[in-house]
Amino acid sequence: MHYALVSDLLTKEAFDERVEKKAESLGGLVDEVTAAMLVVDELGRSHIKIGDIPSAQTSIVSFFGKILEIKPPREFTREGEPPGLVASVVLGDPTGTVTMSLWDDRAEATSELEVGSVIEVIAKPRPGKKEVTCLALRESNVTIVETKKPPKSEVMAAPLTAKILAASEIREIIRRDGTPSFVQEFIIGDASGTARLVCWAPDLFADVDEGASISIDGVQRKEDEGIVEYVVSDSAEIRILPDEIGALTRDAADVTEGQNPVVTGIVSSVSDVRTFTTRRGTESRVRNVSVQSSSKKSGVNVAIWGDAADALFLPGDPVQVINAAAKLNRYGELELSVGRGSAIRTINLPGKSVSLTGIIIPRPEGLSLDDGKEVWILLTNESPVPGTTVDVEGICRNGRIEVTNLVSNPIDADPLIHRLGSLL
């Protein structure tokens, strides 16, 4: 069984030879299984902890797990093929839990497994998921006393009431059978905290805006290692509530390690966006934003990942960081991480109407208006040519102008030459 872990490195004959030599070198003190494990370890394919499976960088992993739950085989149909079988087993150790799928002949092996026993597994992991597909397993004498709690899933008897704090765009998902499906993700909150909500029938939320308070019947509640997630299907019913539901909020100075609800503060500094290559070989982006507490005596760093890193943040912006986890960074400081299932929002302050004339200049933050006294970032769908003079009307707030009207003037080089001369 252990040869599957290193089959891409050497032949079966070469592996068996190494195992035999390893057993001989230890004077016969270890059996063949132990010798095989030692050879695998020497080749850099040693057993890992269950908690490390989602971030594993190999196509095959090996681990020990205590059986926490067994779901017996169920039959499914394959187009043009005989029916198949699939079963699943939840395994755990002190670092986490994982759901292992067993297909066809391996699914029948679940009848020989018992909850509470420990098995050794060779499996193919799903990148970023707490899921594996079983390639081989065997009973083990390894002792695992304590494990993380297995995931729980149940349909709620009472309606779920919460406030919509953030909503993502609708995404199309292609199922295994090739048919399309659509999903939309939300972050919801109430006085107890925040959670992620996944809806597989986005039309249900067509009339629901961010900030709305809602009641949902027929919600599935999932809990895994203390993290709660809700799932909504097309059988659910949604009702908009007349009274607003408040969400648990804390100041940037009060961030704690682990999951945080809604964290509020003021942006004090913003880094440039950095591009990097992920473990899967794809390109992504990250930006760091420092958020200061209301007392301005302390704050917290926020790492913003993926497409969210492209959003505009300026010093002085009041923000909310929603449903983000915090952990110690390499400097030993708490850092909030905004990625999937979390969000960061700029809070719009009251603005004032302005009517200005100035020159369009390009800046890293975006096209801006320079009227000779101040510079504002323009929020507009228009594309004025840099260097041209424009008349702008709009709402001004914290370094931005939300443009309601923009008129480009004929190009006159004299003001630009004068401006450039004053800078020399």
| 3-state secondary structure labels for all residues of 142-185 | CCCCCCCCCCEEEECCCCEEEEEEEECCCEEEECCCCCEEEEEE
Specify whether the CB–CB gap between 213 and 204 falls below 8 A.
no
Reduced to 3 states (helix: H, G, I; strand: E, B; else coil), residue 75 is: strand
Whether the domain at 152-240 and the domain at 352-423 fall into the same CATH topology: yes
Instruction: Name, in order, each residue with C-beta under 8 angstroms of 384's C-beta and a sequence gap of 6 or more.
Output: 360, 367, 378, 390, 406, 408
Q: Residue ranges per domain, the chain?
A: 2-139, 152-240, 250-346, 352-423
Mark 213-248 as b/e (b = at least 16 C-beta within 10 Å): bbbbbebbebebeeebbbbbeeebebeeeeeebebe
- Dist CA 304 CA 312 (whole Å): 12
> Within 10 Å of residue 306's Cβ, how many Cβ atoms?
13
Comparing CA positions, the residue from 93, 185, 98, 172 lying closest to residue 134 is 98
Q: How far apart are the first and last CA of the chain?
A: 75
- Decide if 401 contacts 375 (C-beta within 8 A): no
**Coil vs helix vs strand at 192:** coil
Closest residue by Cα to residue 385 from 369, 405, 400, 372: 369
If phi > 0 it is left, if psi is from -120 to 50 it is alpha, else beta; for residue 341 that is left
Let me know if domain 2-139 sits in CATH 2.40.50.180: no
Q: HSE, CB side, 13 Å, CA atoms: give it for residue 387.
A: 7
Domain 250-346 fold is: OB fold (Dihydrolipoamide Acetyltransferase, E2P) (2.40.50)
C-alpha distance from residue 112 to each of 93, 106, 119, 356 (Å): 21, 11, 12, 78
Tens of pLDDT along 388-402? 899 999 999 988 999
CATH homologous superfamily, domain 352-423 = Nucleic acid-binding proteins (2.40.50.140)
Task: Provide the CB-side half-sphere exposure for 317 (13 A, CA).
Answer: 21
Q: What is the pLDDT along the chain (424 residues), one digit of tens a residue?
A: 676 666 667 778 887 788 777 777 767 666 677 777 777 777 766 788 999 999 887 788 889 999 999 999 998 887 778 888 999 999 999 999 999 999 988 898 898 999 999 998 888 899 888 999 998 888 888 899 888 888 888 999 999 999 999 999 999 988 766 788 999 999 999 999 999 999 999 999 999 999 999 999 999 999 987 889 999 999 999 999 999 999 999 999 999 999 999 999 999 999 999 998 876 678 899 999 999 998 777 889 999 999 999 999 999 999 999 999 999 888 888 999 999 899 999 988 888 999 999 999 998 888 999 998 999 999 999 889 998 899 999 999 988 999 999 999 876 666 666 766 666 6
Per-residue model confidence as pLDDT tens digits over 255-284: 999 999 999 999 999 999 999 887 667 889
Identify the DSSP state of 92. E
- Number of residues that make up the chain: 424
Architecture of domain 152-240: Beta Barrel (2.40)
Helix (H, G, I), strand (E, B) or coil at 345: strand
Q: Name the pTM for this structure.
A: 0.73
Look up residue 31 and give its two tokens: 């059996």
Query: Cα-atom radius of gyration of the chain, to the nearest Å?
Result: 28
In angstroms, rounded to a whole number, what is the distance separating the alpha carbons of residues 24 and 312?
A: 65
Query: Distance between CA atoms of 25 and 201, rounded to whole angstroms?
Result: 62
Q: Would you tell me how many other CB atoms lie within 10 Å of the CB of residue 355?
A: 10
- Cβ-proximal residues to 194 (8 Å cutoff; 6+ apart), any chain: 165, 187, 188, 247, 248, 259, 261, 262, 322, 323
Beta strand 171-174 with 237-240: parallel, antiparallel or unpaired? unpaired
Contact 388, 419 (CB under 8 A): no
DSSP code at position 87: E
Q: How many CA atoms lie within 13 A of 331 on its CB side?
A: 5
To 5 degrees, how large is the angle CA 214–CA 220–CA 224? 115
| Spatial contact of 89 and 150, defined as CB atoms under 8 Å apart | no
Q: Which residues contact 414 (CB under 8 A, 6 or more apart)?
A: none
